[in-house]
Structure 1
Amino acid sequence: MIFDAHCDVLMKLFIDPDISFVDSDKLHITKRELMDSGGKVQCFAIYIPEQVHSDMRFQAALAMVEIFHKKVLAEPEIKFIRSKKDIDSLGEKEIGALLTLEGCDCIGDDVLKMKTLLQLGVTSVGLTWNYANLVADGVLEKRGGGLTRFGTDVVGLLNVQSIWCDLSHLSESGFWDTIEIADFPIASHSNAYRLCPHPRNLKDSQIKALLKKNGTIGVTFVPQFLSQGKSASIKDVINHIEHICSLGGEKQIGFGSDFDGIEEMVDDLVSYSNYQNLIDELDRLYSTEFVKGILFENFVRHYPR
């Protein structure tokens, strides 16, 4: 069984309403691929494309929630996950769908908008994308600012409602501000900076701090975050797993593919159906217990609700 902590299917369905979630070849993740490849829980991110005007971003977020219900949850095998109990109750042929938010740009400075999204079923919140919003700075914001006063209020709300606080995409200052106060931190799709010094990756000190706070990190399949070369392979994915485990992350590591949010792909890992190629390599190298943990159990065990 596979728990994948991040994909951008909803963004693609938002941009092109004619795409079918069931079996479109324009998607890296479809219902058919989930059913055929061992998918058990898939996180679907609300990510608002940059070209959407700031005044319309909350409406766009609501539109993606509607798409989630009409195109994803409309499939009878797909069940809405809002608690660990929902995961535990999934039938053998059922797949859980978890709704997440990637970046708080859409709420502006209005905490009521965040409360609305949580009421609608968002149970993991990424504070930023790559740039600044009114919560914090993202990793590519040149000033590198940390968590704002409003951002502190948002993290407090996530704590009270037992919501994952996703640190992927945060500036380094924002990371350190947030790790101090977040009760349920994760990094849904980030890799190790030591192996690949991309600003989206986490330094060893950050990984150790996240692990100390009982957080989970999802190794992601973005080639630029895996290797400094022109391409990346499953071996590179394994290298990042090994490094995070060397820091103590054996029971706090999983996957956050970023499928449908990327254009360049890892060799032999170009869509959800290729997860089996990765699983075959994991099975060759590691114990069954470790493989089950990284594929599914670690993220489920740390789900806070």
Structure 2
Amino acid sequence: MIIDAHCDVLMKMYRDPLLDFNAAEPLLDVSYPLMKQGGVKIQFMAVYLPEEIKNPDVGHILEYVDILHRRVLCNPDIVLIQSRSDLQHVLTTGKRGVLLTLEGAEGLRGSLAQLRMLHRLGLRSVGPAWNFANWAVDGAMETRNGGFTLRGQQLIKESNQLGLLFDASHLSEKAFWEAADVPGLHLFASHSNAKSACDHPRNLTDGQIRCLIERKGMIGITFVPWFVKKTGSVFITDLFRHIDHICSLGGEDFIGFGSDFDGIDNYIRGLENAGMYVNLANELYKHYTPVQAQKFLWQNGYAFLERSLPVS
């Protein structure tokens, strides 16, 4: 069983209205057949508005929500997870679950009312930035490394009041620490690796990793090749340097996975889509104890969601 904390399948389906999530669709890295093949039980699905969308607004976000409902949740075996009771239902049945997440707050245009509306529609996680600056915050690739704006600070407060998971994966380092100062915020990193194992601005410093461990926030190891290894072909076993490093900092109980499938066009060898999670699981069982492998594959992610989602 697998929990995957980040993919961009909704973006691909937004771009191509003919893509069928519930069929064997070769253009998708994540689909219902591939989830079944790879043992993916819970999949986070991001609303990411790509840069070709000029002047994004909440209407674009709602188009993604509509895609989720019409083209994913039309499958009676897929449940939108909004609460711990939904989480438990998925765990104890043959159903599979999806969580709706927001990657980049550009489309909100500073409106907290729109954030509240999206929460009512099932949004359960917000990552305020993509790579660069917006009205709320600087992203990890913004060279000035700024933090949250005043309106961005209100976004944090509102997210906290709503009980939203708060995704630090694309935040600038300054913004990360500003978010970390907020008591009770469900801070996690959906798809980031360890900077000590691969020096990339999108990866987490040891200090950030220790902070997330202290706050019991999940760290989703991602499959973006250039976040795993600087040069050359990347193999599944290259992920283990990141896992081992986070474990060395005390993070064994907080490691999960966030593939970034459908948001990448270069892949780890043997891990080109969700159906190939079986290859990762097999390698994990070779290199770690069965208890550790199960933690990384799903138990840590499940525990994080059980701590963080509303009861009902």
Both structures adopt the same fold (TM-score exceeding 0.5): yes
Contact 2:36 2:275 in 1 (8 A): no
Once residues 67 and 174 of structure 1 are traced to their aligned partners in structure 2, the CA distance between those partners, rounded to angstroms, is 31
Q: Does 1:175 align with 2:176?
A: yes
Once residues 232 and 58 of structure 1 are traced to their aligned partners in structure 2, the CA distance between those partners, rounded to angstroms, is 37
Q: Does 1:113 align with 2:114?
A: yes
Give 2:65's aligned residue.
65
Counterpart of 1:228, as a letter, is: K
Counterpart of 1:62, as a letter, is: L
**RMSD of aligned residue pairs (Cα, Å):** 1.1
Deviation at 1:15, TM superposition (A): 0.5
Give 2:253's aligned residue.
251
Once residues 300 and 190 of structure 1 are traced to their aligned partners in structure 2, the CA distance between those partners, rounded to angstroms, is 18
Alignment of 1:23-172 (within 5 A): 23-54=24-55, 56-90=56-90, 91-172=92-173
Deviation at 1:93, TM superposition (A): 2.2
Q: Deviations over 1:230-252 (max 9, x none)?
A: 32111111111111111111001
Once residues 211 and 113 of structure 1 are traced to their aligned partners in structure 2, the CA distance between those partners, rounded to angstroms, is 31
Contact 2:30 2:261 in 1 (8 A): yes
Contact 1:84 1:300 in 2 (8 A): no
Once residues 242 and 161 of structure 1 are traced to their aligned partners in structure 2, the CA distance between those partners, rounded to angstroms, is 34
Deviation at 1:258, TM superposition (A): 0.3
Deviation at 1:36, TM superposition (A): 2.2
3-state DSSP of counterpart to 1:181: coil
Give 1:15's aligned residue.
15
Instruction: Normalising by structure 1, report the TM-score.
Output: 0.97
Contact 1:101 1:122 in 2 (8 A): yes
Counterpart of 1:128, as a letter, is: A
Once residues 187 and 149 of structure 1 are traced to their aligned partners in structure 2, the CA distance between those partners, rounded to angstroms, is 23
Q: Deviations over 1:1-20 (max 9, x none)?
A: 11000000000000010111
Once residues 3 and 162 of structure 1 are traced to their aligned partners in structure 2, the CA distance between those partners, rounded to angstroms, is 20
Q: Does 1:281 align with 2:289?
A: no
Give 1:201's aligned residue.
203
Once residues 37 and 226 of structure 1 are traced to their aligned partners in structure 2, the CA distance between those partners, rounded to angstroms, is 21
How many pairs are equivalent?
304
Alignment of 1:286-297 (within 5 A): 286-297=288-299
3-state DSSP of counterpart to 2:188: strand
Once residues 231 and 132 of structure 2 are traced to their aligned partners in structure 1, the CA distance between those partners, rounded to angstroms, is 25
Unaligned runs of 5+ in 1: none
Give 2:6's aligned residue.
6
Q: Deviations over 1:176-201 (max 9, x none)?
A: 11111162100000000111111110
Once residues 4 and 93 of structure 1 are traced to their aligned partners in structure 2, the CA distance between those partners, rounded to angstroms, is 17
Picking from 208, 221, 224, the partner of 2:223 is 221
Identity across aligned pairs (percent)? 40
3-state DSSP of counterpart to 2:98: strand
Once residues 114 and 46 of structure 2 are traced to their aligned partners in structure 1, the CA distance between those partners, rounded to angstroms, is 17
Deviation at 1:34, TM superposition (A): 0.8
Instruction: Normalising by structure 2, report the TM-score.
Output: 0.95
